[in-house]
Amino acid sequence: MQVDTANSEFHQLKRCPTCGSVSLNNEVECGVCGGSLAEASYESMGQIERDQAAEMAEEERKERRVVRRTESLGIVATIALVILGIGSLVGGILVLGQFNNLGSLLLVLLGMILLLEVLGVGIARPMFRKYLS
Ligand SMILES: [Zn+2]
């Protein structure tokens, strides 16, 4: 690849000492904060690209952390629902054995529906994620 002098001159950039934003080397004032670029350090395009790549990697790490937090919240909610489901199921069966009434039958049904729902979502979620991402 051939690089002529004018082109590499153009790619020489200044970094604002006040706000850290990047300006072209022929600018005397920062376009972002208006500060003087007299003491700004010159940076090559490669250096700035590396900085931007590092920033993007950091953003990505942050996003992944948020996803992980959401996932662990989902696990906690799932466990809570499973316990609730088993609780109403077992409780309903116990009450049903003693009193044989409609309310306890509904409690058993509620527990079964809750458990099926939780298990169903738990199985379906990885499939949904495949379409979402
Ligand atoms: Zn600035």
Q: Is residue 48 part of a domain?
A: no
Q: Is residue 54 part of a domain?
A: no
Centroid of ligand 1 to alpha carbon of 53 (angstroms): 20
Centroid of ligand 1 to alpha carbon of 30 (angstroms): 5
pLDDT at 1 over 60: no
Is there a single domain that holds both residue 33 and residue 72?
Answer: no
Q: Is residue 13 part of a domain?
A: yes
Is there a single domain that holds both residue 122 and residue 77?
Answer: yes
d(CA 96, CA 104): 5
pLDDT in tens, 41-51: 777 777 778 88
DSSP 38: T
Q: Give the alpha-carbon dihedral of 53, 54, 57, 62, to 10 degrees.
A: -140
Domain that holds residue 27: 1-43
Centroid of ligand 1 to alpha carbon of 26 (angstroms): 15
d(CA 130, CA 125): 9
CB 48 within 8 A of CB 20: no
pTM score > 0.85 for this model?
no
